[in-house]
Amino acid sequence: MALAEAGRIIREGGLVAFPTETVYGLGGDAMNPESSKKIYAAKGRPSDNPLIVHISDLSEIDRVVRKVPETALRLARRFWPGPLTMILEKGEEVPLETTGGLETVAVRMPGNDIAAALIRESHTPIAAPSANRSGRPSPTLARHCAEDLDGKIEMILDGGAVGIGLESTIVDLSTEIPTILRPGYITLSMIREILPQAQVDAGIIRADSGIKPKAPGMKYRHYAPRGDLTVVRGTRQAVVSYINAQLAEVSARSLSGGRAEKTAVIATRETASSYQADLVRDLGSRKDPEEIARHLFGVLREMDEENADVIFAEAFDDTGIGAAIMNRLLKAAGGKLIQL
Ligand code: TXA
Ligand code: MG
């Protein structure tokens, strides 16, 4: 059976891509420094960017973490298994290769049956970043993992489309004030119901603030399509008019002898039919932000598959899961936001 085979590969130091409820992960034995080195090599990822250690039962946390604070237990009881990663003091057995040289470790219990079964079959915690080549959008389908990593890893477990589509919320509990280092499906207000003092890392509130984010991975260029992506915020009518005017300019430029540029818009169900672009993709309805989240990375990948040169995307409200959507979208755009 595939899962038994996958568990054997992990135990023997190989790599397996597997589904979680957030995005697909690229798994290796978290306790084996050679496995972690292979993960960095397969992804083409800088080795100072630490991996997340995945467990399948709370009893396994003592192998990974030096001391489990009460705050972590309270969050675990409320949100695990689920899309929440906690930063805690590293246990001795976890190699520095897994934590990118840090004395802290990121740990999460994924809420996906295949992920949980793989961890159990492997008899070891699994270190897993998202299963994409470094810099590309995280994979939300097994096909995305194959596109990025085929030939570089031993196996891909296909669990179909993931449920959430954005990576887990990361909360740092190694400092006095619980701090969100990466927004996700679990929002600040959900965490504040358990830990009222929680806050958001200043480095991620604004992409252009110049403040260095605390999660090493958040400082890297990420998710960016090859085309030039701009995010546009304003009322629905203003956004549609502005983007169409920009698209008309690009077409005029192409017609007047410039290189023909392929235009694209990342739109919503409500607006998709209003744009005059070579390619229009609909993320879903604005009334259903979870649908938008689920489709975002796949659509960003399509921009490359379709060779889009000039891309405009509509902005979203920063509330609830919108904070995570905008965080990923603005990273993909290198912070380029037009405020109308
Ligand atoms: O949903 C997820 O979290 C997915 C699935 C596979 O579980 N994994 C994931 O891993 O997104 P990755 O490696 O793509 O992102 C991990 C992030 C990076 O930004 C990294 O810098 C940060 O977590 N991180 C890991 N360990 C850390 C630590 N000790 N301190 C601060 N940030 C840490
Ligand atoms: Mg990643």
Contact of 139 with 297, CB cutoff 8 Å? yes
Give residue 129 CA to ligand 1 midpoint distance, Å.
6
Contact of 267 with 280, CB cutoff 8 Å? yes
pLDDT(220) > 80: no
pLDDT(205) > 70: no
Q: Is 216 in the pocket of ligand 1 (CB under 6 A)?
A: yes
Closest CA to 327 of 284, 163, 317, 303: 317
Which residues hold their Cβ within 5 A of ligand 2, which is an ion?
Answer: 130
pLDDT tens-digit map of 31-67: 999 999 999 999 998 888 999 999 999 999 999 999 9
Residue nearest to atom 13 of ligand 1 (CA): 129
Q: Is 27 in the pocket of ligand 1 (CB under 6 A)?
A: no
Residue nearest to atom 22 of ligand 1 (CA): 215
Residue nearest to atom 7 of ligand 1 (CA): 25
pLDDT tens-digit map of 244-279: 999 999 999 888 877 889 999 999 999 999 999 999
Residues 118, 98: Cα–Cα separation, whole Å: 19
Q: Is 119 in the pocket of ligand 1 (CB under 6 A)?
A: no
pLDDT tens-digit map of 101-144: 999 999 999 999 999 999 999 999 999 999 999 999 999 999 99
Mean pLDDT, residues 316-324? 95
Helices within 123-201 (DSSP H only):
142-149, 188-192
Work out whether strand 16-18 and strand 155-156 pair parallel, antiparallel, or are unpaired.
Answer: parallel
Contact of 244 with 229, CB cutoff 8 Å? no
Confidence of residue 214 (pLDDT cuts 50, 70, 90): confident
Residues 6+ apart with CB under 8 A from 93: 31, 63, 64
Residues 6+ apart with CB under 8 A from 82: 21, 109, 110, 111, 186
Q: What pLDDT shows up at residue 131?
A: 98
Q: What pLDDT shows up at residue 207?
A: 53
